[in-house]
Amino acid sequence: MKSFFAALLLLLATFTQGIAQNIEVAKIDQLLESKIKAGAPGLALGIVKNGTIVYERYLGLANLQHQIPVEAQTRFNLASVAKQFTALCVLKLVLENKLSLEADIRQYLPQMYPQLKTAIPLKTLLNHSSGVRDFYDLLSISGKPWWRQEGLDNEDALALLLKQKELNFTPDTEHWYSNSNYTLLAEIVTKVSGTPFPEYAKQLFTDLGMPNTQFCTNYMQVIPFQSLPYNDWGDGSWQQYPMMTNLYADGFLYTTLKDQLVFEQAIQKAAAQANSLLPISQKPIPNTRIQSYGYGLEISPINGYPAVHHSGSTGSYNAQTLRFPDEKLSIIVLSNNGNLWSGGIAREVAAQILGRKTAETPYLTRPAQVQAASTPSDLVGQYRSTDNNIIRIQLKEAHLYWQMDNNNPRKLIQEEGNLYHWDIDEDWKIAFSNRPDSTSSMVLYTKSEQPEVLKKLPPFSPSDAYLQACVGKYFSAELDLAFTIKMSLEKGLIFKREGGKNETKIEVVQKGELLASDYKMRLETAANGRVMAVLLTYSRVRSLRFEKVE
């Protein structure tokens, strides 16, 4: 493996292939300069084409306190863009026959899920199809978000994951992003290699010619030329976002643009070596249902072109890696400015270089026939999606609005008859089928998926006895956490986390389904109507069980 890297670095040093396509530097400069105001946190952007670095630009400030500009030596936090490098460490061990993608993770971590009979193949951690719950969201449910905890580290995350008894879903049946996957992968690399993961990764970076890249394992560690993260939350003043955790592998990789561009050169120049480490890492994982995500990388079109890419955001750091393999084009964006979206900037730059393709979609984007217009109030109600989400269609000031759970409502614009689209995206079309019986529905059309039929639910008005049956104390052994549901004459049902100060009003969405802010709760009831448990779903945690104990 070391001989491969040595040959690769020699190739990088001697390769002088010309640029096959012009990069309009002035236009890219103008775009970037429009994003960074004077005195603002900055960004670094680089482009590699045909194995050659063809653009490199640094703007804004790395440190506002001391007015230090972003420069070539500035180090940024890659956030989740780091996952590709954790996956690379795993893949290296696989190619050395020290790991198997098909092996159950409990072959390496036998203490995980001892009561679970379902296999959890290693490959499902890599492409987020394992069903393992996200520990960040588990912490949030506990009222202990990661950004409030000083010194939170991988051992803390593993301790929390060891308490979990269930998965979100059966492995290799769904793709549901979870940072826990990459925390577990780092632990497996440590177990198998006999070297602590950060040290193992550091050697990989050295072999790749990336001397200024390292995972941070101590938030008090001095990282030379480190940029600090800032955000302006709308009041016109920049504030530093505190980073007090010692987590790594799922993110928290500090690097320079120079190192990332060297890596992009290596990716492009190794592309012809089909069975070697770097080319394999750019493909989907064999023998898995999930083909849109591979070794820490998304695999899906951008601007109509086949692309391999990943975004990252941690606090006020954000980053984007965007590769177009067929065009041998890579765009890297790193930023310490929380008001920017690196992914959007990378896409704009890509559009300037390649243009945008209007890709033909294999899916229907609107109905063949549109039902005549119904009275808007007749379309109001609740509709259930195929993944069990409830969409509420509401009427406000003579306009229909689409709302999923307690997310921001989206105004619907009528196109014709009962066909509407989102006000912010005309590609999201909704065709209502309004009928006098119980078969009313709506169909959601997008360019990227098959049309989805959502059935209208009958209205449900809970009785006082129903509400009273929900009242009680509920406990989760997987989080060592309790919450209470109580009744208020003024507000109805109220949710309160034990030890917490805030109370949240509960909305009864349907029979057996409650909503408290972002928490979706499904009730398990006995034949006599007594509530036995609440299954709580939040973000990347599904059906976390809370038993009724009082």
Dihedral of CA atoms 465, 467, 472, 478 in degrees, nearest 10, equals 130
Q: What is the pLDDT of residues 451-494, one digit of tens each?
A: 999 999 998 999 999 999 999 999 999 999 999 999 988 889 99
Give the pLDDT confidence score for residue 359 in this predicted structure: 64
Q: Output the six-digit token pair for 61.
A: 């400030």
Distance from C-alpha of 63 to C-alpha of 14, rounded to nearest angstrom: 36
b/e sequence 97-128, b meaning 16+ C-beta within 10 Å: eebebebbbebbbeebbeeeeeebbbbbbbbb
b/e sequence 352-364, b meaning 16+ C-beta within 10 Å: ebbeeeeeeeeee
pLDDT band at 248 (very low <50, low <70, confident <90, very high): very high
| pTM, 2 dp | 0.91
Angle between helices 342-354 and 25-33 (to 10 degrees): 160
Q: With CA atoms as reference, report the closest residue to 393 among 410, 373, 374.
A: 410
Q: Work out the number of other CB atoms within 10 angstroms of the CB of residue 397.
A: 6
Give the pLDDT confidence score for residue 236 in this predicted structure: 85
Q: Output the six-digit token pair for 495.
A: 């949710």
Give the pLDDT confidence score for residue 406 in this predicted structure: 83
Give the pLDDT confidence score for residue 234 in this predicted structure: 83
Say whether pLDDT at 7 is over 60: no
Give the pLDDT confidence score for residue 3 in this predicted structure: 52
Q: What is the pLDDT of residues 76-96, one digit of tens each?
A: 999 999 999 999 999 999 999
Stronger pLDDT, 489 or 326, i.e. the higher one? 326
Q: What is the mean pLDDT of residues 272-292?
A: 92
Distance from C-alpha of 192 to C-alpha of 108, rounded to nearest angstrom: 8
Q: What is the pLDDT of residues 487-542, one digit of tens each?
A: 988 889 999 999 888 999 999 999 999 999 999 999 999 998 899 999 999 999 99
Residue 539: exposure state from Cβ atoms within 10 A (0-12, 13-18, ≥19): middle
Domains of the chain, CATH where assigned: 2-99+192-354 (3.40.710.10), 376-456 (2.40.128.50), 464-548 (2.40.128.50)
Distance from C-alpha of 425 to C-alpha of 475, rounded to nearest angstrom: 42
Q: What is the mean pLDDT of residues 259-278?
A: 92
Q: What is the pLDDT of residues 99-113, one digit of tens each?
A: 999 999 999 999 999
Contact at 8 Å (CB) between 333 and 102? no
Residue 522: which H helix or E strand, with range? strand 519-525
Q: What is the pLDDT of residues 20-32, one digit of tens each?
A: 356 899 999 999 9
Say whether pLDDT at 10 is over 70: no
Q: What is the mean pLDDT of residues 40-52?
A: 97
Contact at 8 Å (CB) between 323 and 309? yes
Contact at 8 Å (CB) between 152 and 242? no
Q: What is the pLDDT of residues 284-324, one digit of tens each?
A: 999 999 999 999 999 999 999 999 999 999 999 999 999 99
DSSP H helical segments within 129-196, as ranges?
Answer: 135-141, 154-162, 180-193
Contact at 8 Å (CB) between 296 and 182? yes
Say whether pLDDT at 12 is over 50: no
Q: What percent of the chain has pLDDT over 90?
A: 86
Q: What is the pLDDT of residues 404-441, one digit of tens each?
A: 988 899 999 999 999 999 999 999 999 999 998 888 99
E strands along 206-246, which residues? Answer: 214-215, 230-231, 239-240
pLDDT band at 382 (very low <50, low <70, confident <90, very high): very high
